[in-house]
């Protein structure tokens, strides 16, 4: 081998080694696991929500709400002794938080700064699930799965002031910041819009081909709603009540979040994946990536400051033997394995 060929070969080998080293050291380009916060304990879970003022993440867990610092991952004292918790809503203008107790058919009120429980409010329905605070009316709304209605609570007095018959099982709800509330109707695969002040239903529309919607998110600028159903996200125009687009996602989703800072939409899927969708225009969307999470990590929260995504899950043991009451029993969580997974770039 002559000297010239030897120099060329050495040069190629050096470039290959540099490229290989860079590939090994380069961080993932998309969303990936950046932190795991083991909370432990026992029990199931449902919603989680970030209180942006305090930077605290509230995570439902059995009969308590776990509290985690979103920036450091530090665990704070939980809010205990609840009754089958589902969700939490924040009224920062009143320094109050509101927790839906599915088994207690009630709402627990707590102080946002001290997290001390202040009172418990019975609701006009059974199995209050999703819960939200609507700031224009100053009302808290619970969406009651067993009675297909919503309860309105005046946050100034913490008294029930009305009930809305929704005609189907309500799931997640959002508001437009102007007094209009939108909620998914799981039974009829539709969205219901009602006035938070008068409690009058303004309109309904089908989200076909989506069926059985669970999570719901809103894009205020483009006036779009995002409903997640099994394997499909349905985008609808909340002004004209028409479906604008559909996007393929994973199976078994329960939550969706829209990030106005990045134009990304996230769907957390029970199969163990996070579908990241790029908004190209108000009516055009494409799947950017599908990120592996963990089985049953189907509820989620988005941090609009860091653009990180939080999901929760646990490790699972084998399912118990079927019984007449439970012909298809679910696998049981391993005690002490409950955890928050943080995904970011």
- Per-residue pLDDT, 6: 55
CATH code linked to domain 46-206: 2.130.10.10
- Per-residue pLDDT, 139: 98
Mean pLDDT score of the chain, rounded to an integer?
92
E strand or H helix that includes residue 109? strand 106-111
- Per-residue pLDDT, 331: 82
- Per-residue pLDDT, 317: 83
Ranges of each domain in the chain? 46-206, 212-345
First CA to last CA distance, the chain: 47
297-312 residue pLDDT tens: 999 999 999 999 999 9
Q: How far apart are CA 190 and CA 168, in angstroms?
A: 9
- Asked whether residue 24 carries a pLDDT value surpassing 70, the answer given is no
Region 162-179: mean pLDDT is: 98
Decide if 46-206 and 212-345 have a common fold. Answer: yes
Residues with Cβ within 8 Å of residue 219, at least 6 apart in sequence? 225, 226, 258, 260, 279, 282
| Burial of 15 (C-beta count, 10 Å sphere; 0-12/13-18/19+) | exposed
Q: Nearest-CA neighbor of 232 among 209, 216, 257?
A: 209
Q: Nearest-CA neighbor of 91 among 162, 130, 140, 161?
A: 140
122-152 residue pLDDT tens: 999 999 999 999 999 999 999 999 999 999 9
- Per-residue pLDDT, 9: 47
Region 28-42: mean pLDDT is: 91
CATH class of 212-345: mainly beta
């Amino acid at each position: 081998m002559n000297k010239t060929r030897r120099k060329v070969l050495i040069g190629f080998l050096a470039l290959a080694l540099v490229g290989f080293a860079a590939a090994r050291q380069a961080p993932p380009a998309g969303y990936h696991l950046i932190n795991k916060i083991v909370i432990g304990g026992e029990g199931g879970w449902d919603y989680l929500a970030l209180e942006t003022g305090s930077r605290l993440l509230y995570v439902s867990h059995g009969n308590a709400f776990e509290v985690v610092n979103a920036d450091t991952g530090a665990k704070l004292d939980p809010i205990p002794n609840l009754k089958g918790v589902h969700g939490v809503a924040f009224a920062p203008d009143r320094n109050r938080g509101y927790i839906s107790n599915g088994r207690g058919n009630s709402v627990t009120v707590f102080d946002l700064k001290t997290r001390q429980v202040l009172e418990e409010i019975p609701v006009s329905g059974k199995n209050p699930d999703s819960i939200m605070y609507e700031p224009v009316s100053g009302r808290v709304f619970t969406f009651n799965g067993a009675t297909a209605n919503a309860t309105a609570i005046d946050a100034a007095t913490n008294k029930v002031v009305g009930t809305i018959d929704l005609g189907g099982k309500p799931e997640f709800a959002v508001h437009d910041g102007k007094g209009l509330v939108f909620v998914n109707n799981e039974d009829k695969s539709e969205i219901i819009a009602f006035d938070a002040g008068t409690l009058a239903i303004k309109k309904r529309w089908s989200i076909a081909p989506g069926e059985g919607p669970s999570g719901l998110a809103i894009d205020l600028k483009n006036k779009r709603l995002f409903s997640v159903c099994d394997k499909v996200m349905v985008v609808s125009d909340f002004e004209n009540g028409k479906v604008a687009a559909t996007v393929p996602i994973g199976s078994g989703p329960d939550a969706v979040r829209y990030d106005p800072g990045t134009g990304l939409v996230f769907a957390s899927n029970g199969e163990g994946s996070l579908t990241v969708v790029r908004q190209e225009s108000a009516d055009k969307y494409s799947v950017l990536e599908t990120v592996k999470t963990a089985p049953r990590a189907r509820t989620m929260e988005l941090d609009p400051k860091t653009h990180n995504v939080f999901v929760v899950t646990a490790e699972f043991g084998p399912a118990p033997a079927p019984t007449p009451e439970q012909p298809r029993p679910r696998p049981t969580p391993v005690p002490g394995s409950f955890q928050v997974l943080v995904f970011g770039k």
